[in-house]
Amino acid sequence: DQRGTIQPYSPIKYELINKLNKEIKLVRILRPSRVRYIGGRTFVMKKALVEKVE
């Protein structure tokens, strides 16, 4: 299931999301348009996640 530019996350990306939970919250504030909610969890679009990591 793909919505917009969201791509399927690999297990590694799931781990990154879990480890960067606090960072993701910052991304939510800075780039709310790049955040989607699926299954009650917060998923950050690849571009936003990469920018935050870099």
4 lies in a domain? no
22 lies in a domain? yes
The confidence band for 50, taking pLDDT boundaries of 50, 70 and 90, is: very low
Task: Kindly report, residue by residue over 13-30, the tens digit of the pLDDT.
Answer: 666 666 666 555 555 444
1 lies in a domain? no
Q: Which domain holds residue 31?
A: 11-53
37 lies in a domain? yes
31 lies in a domain? yes
Q: Which residues of 11-32 are buried (b: 16+ CB within 10 A; e: fewer)?
A: eeeeebbeebeeebeebeeeee
The model carries a pTM of 0.20
34 lies in a domain? yes
- Give the Cα separation of 48 and 44 in Å (integer): 6
Pair 17, 9: CB distance under 8 Å:
yes
